[in-house]
Amino acid sequence: MRYIIAVLGIVGIGVSFLALAAHYAAPVQQIDVLRSGSNWNSAYVNQSPYAEVHGVPVAVFGIAGYALLVVLALLRRKMLTAYSDGIGLAYALYLTNIEAHILRVWCVYCVSSLMLIVLITFLAFGELIFAPTSLANR
């Protein structure tokens, strides 16, 4: 199970790098979602004011978070993996709420990252709950 979490984490790092590239891509014009016909614009989302926290792109936090999950999973730190993943899921849901209700535009990379973090959450908590282990490995 830990290898599956690690592989999904590596995929998450890749997705976060793509989001970071969209953040630093050529600036996009403000769009009118009702007239554009599409609610998908990754560059617009990644260049919005919500795409940075104190000047640091959110994608950098994604890269660091997924890297942490990979390391914790490979070190068999089940409890820390589950806790860290829970924090990542909460932040991903917060960002998804911003996309849905404030920006009203979806980012392919963000939705992909959300799906990955949900899968990792199920796997991490499933392993924590159902896998027999000693207290030393938690």
**Residues sharing a CB contact under 8 Å with residue 105, sequence separation 6 or more, in sequence order:** 31, 33, 39, 40, 41, 44, 45, 99
Interval 58-117: pLDDT, tens: 999 999 999 999 999 999 999 999 999 999 999 999 999 999 999 888 999 999 999 999
Using a pLDDT cut of 70, give the percent of the chain over it. 88
Report pLDDT for 137: 54
Q: What is the mean pLDDT of residues 23-48?
A: 73
C-beta of residue 50 within 8 angstroms of C-beta of residue 98: yes
In this prediction, residue 58 carries a pLDDT of: 94
SS3 121: helix
Match 């911003």 to its residue by tokens.
Answer: 98
- Residue-range domains of the chain with CATH: 2-137 (1.20.1440.130)
For residue 33, what pLDDT is reported?
52
d(CA 19, CA 13): 10
Q: Structure pTM?
A: 0.87
pLDDT class of 31 with cuts at 50, 70, 90: low
Helices (H), strands (E): how many in the chain?
6, 2
